[in-house]
Every structure is written in C-alpha cells, then in structure tokens.
Amino acid sequence: AQRVTQPEKLLSVFKGAPVELKCNYSYSGSPELFWYVQYSRQRLQLLLRHISRESIKGFTADLNKGETSFHLKKPFAQEEDSAMYYCALRSSGAGSYQLTFGKGTKLSVIP
C-alpha cells in the first residue's frame, strides 16, 4: 500500500529564512509526486510536480528515490508563503488521479 508522510504538523520560520517541508513516501512502483498548497480560505491548488522539475513561487522539490523523499524547499521565505502544504503521490500508470495525500504541514512565516 502506498503512503505519504509529512512529519511536521506545523513549521514556523522567520521571513527571509530558508524553508524545507519534509515529505517521505512509501510505494513499490515508480511514483508521481506533487505538492499542493492551500492558502487561507482558498481551494487546494497544485504548486508543483516532480515530472516537470519546475520552480514555482521560488519553491523547488527534488525526488530522491534512494531516500524516498520529495522535500519542498525555498531559500528565502515570504509572508505570503504562509499556508497549508500537502504532499501527494499518484501511482504510476493510473488512468485517473487517485492521489494519496500526506496529512499536511502548516507553514507560518513570521514577519
């Protein structure tokens, strides 16, 4: 069975400090991994996905298959980054978006 673990429920950092939101997964196949973000009173939205290797809003995430991790990083946190962040996994070859989510990490950026 696949599983996504986000060990931190809450992460507080000062503005301008580096941020790392941890995500570990358990899956026997080749996973597709995503980060979703939910700002206050807004809908869940895709932040980034590992297959595109992009940087969105200064965030990056690298899939490390050896450590089964997909940590989200940003070198300098901004106040507007305060939100709930969810790591999610999709089993490969799936014809639909059956995502397995982590419990989420609430990021609080202190001004």
Partner 1 sequence: EPEVTQTPSHQVTQMGQEVILRCVPISNHLYFYWYRQILGQKVEFLVSFYNNEISEKSEIFDDQFSVERPDGSNFTLKIRSTKLEDSAMYFCASTRWGGADSPLHFGNGTRLTVT
Residue 56 in the binding site for partner 1 (CB under 8 A)? no
Cα angle: 61, vertex 43, 20; to 5 degrees: 25
Q: Which of 20, 65, 103, 110 binds partner 1 (CB under 8 A)?
A: 103
Percent composition of the chain: helix, strand, coil (DSSP 3-state, to 5): 5, 45, 50
Please report whether residue 12 would count as binding partner 1 according to CB under 8 A: no
Is 46 a residue that touches partner 1 (CB under 8 A)? yes
Residues of the shown chain interacting with partner 1 in the complex, contacts defined by CB under 8 A: 32, 42-46, 49, 51-52, 86, 88, 90, 94-104
